[in-house]
Amino acid sequence: MSRSVDEIMELAPVIPVLVIERVEDAAPIAEALVAGGLPALEVTMRTAAALDVMREMAKVPGAVVGAGTVLNPRQLDQALEAGAQFIVSPGLTEPLGKAAIQSGVAFLPGTATAGDIMRGMDMGLSRFKFFPAETSGGLAALKALAAPFHMVRFCPTGGIRADTAAAWLAEPAVKCVGGSWIVPKGPVDPGKIEALAREAASLSR
């Protein structure tokens, strides 16, 4: 089933950003996140295992698996082939933007400036990742950008943590946030991941 970018952004207040090295970790992590109330899972294409991780996670009931760190049309094709239901990129290039729009997949490209947003709008986009959120001026910058672009909605990502997510989510232009804090580095602890997911899923927006 193909979901719109708004449907993806509305699944939960937080999209976990996942960097997974081992395919065998995919199912336990996805199960814990879904059980905790975070169904949208962004698997970053930064590891050799990423495509297999997406395939494994897609088998977990309730999981809506997407690809992150998608940098070009070749990686877009690989992610779609692996079953990605949404695509996240740290930035927006014309080749990637055109290919993603043509594919019809839900697409969240990164923006950090007014010019980035305007280039995206020229392509017909109005939903963006705001990246890297904390170091691009934080919430103050997001608020300033949201004023002229009142039709645009964001998923800020980059440096957001459990104790700062609520402030971002209180901003009307923010539909959800992304972050890696829900799955701590190191050996997989499903109980811990589920607890962190539950806390993130309970944030209001």
Give the catalytic positions in this structure: 42, 129
Shorter beta-carbon distance to ligand 3PG: residue 58 or 67: 67
Q: How far is CA 160 from CA 10, 29, 103, 133, 150, in A?
A: 18, 20, 30, 7, 23
Which residue from 75, 85, 157, 164 is in contact with ligand 3PG, where contact means CB under 6 A?
Answer: 157
Per CB under 6 A, does 164 bind ligand 3PG? no
Q: Which residues are paired to 82 by β-bridges?
A: none
What's the CA gap between 131 and 180, in Å, rounded? 13
Per CB under 6 A, does 13 bind ligand 3PG? no
Per CB under 6 A, does 180 bind ligand 3PG? yes
Which residue from 112, 158, 164, 168 is in contact with ligand 3PG, where contact means CB under 6 A?
Answer: 158
Number of residues in contact with ligand 3PG under rule CB under 6 A = 10
In the complex, minimum distance from the CB of residue 66 to ligand 3PG, in angstroms, rounded to a whole number: 12
- Considering only the stretches 48-56, 112-120, 179-187, 189-197, report the one whose residues sit in contact with ligand 3PG under the rule CB under 6 A: 179-187
Which residue from 13, 36, 109, 179 is in contact with ligand 3PG, where contact means CB under 6 A?
Answer: 179
3-state secondary structure string, the chain?
A: CCCCHHHHHCCCCEEEEECCCCHHHHHHHHHHHHHCCCCEEEEECCCCCHHHHHHHHHCCCCCEEEEECCCCHHHHHHHHHCCCCEEEECCCCHHHHHHHHHHCCEEEEEECCHHHHHHHHHCCCCEEEECCCCCCCHHHHHHHHHCCCCCCEEEEECCCCCCCHHHHHCCCCECCEEECCCCCCCCCCHHHHHHHHHHHHCCCC
Which residue from 141, 159, 190, 201 is in contact with ligand 3PG, where contact means CB under 6 A?
Answer: 159
Shorter beta-carbon distance to ligand 3PG: residue 137 or 159: 159
Per CB under 6 A, does 37 bind ligand 3PG? no
Q: What is the pattern of x (binds ligand 3PG, CB under 6 A) and - over residues 117-146?
A: --------------x---------------
Q: What is the binding site for ligand 3PG (CB under 6 A)?
A: 17, 131, 157-160, 178-181
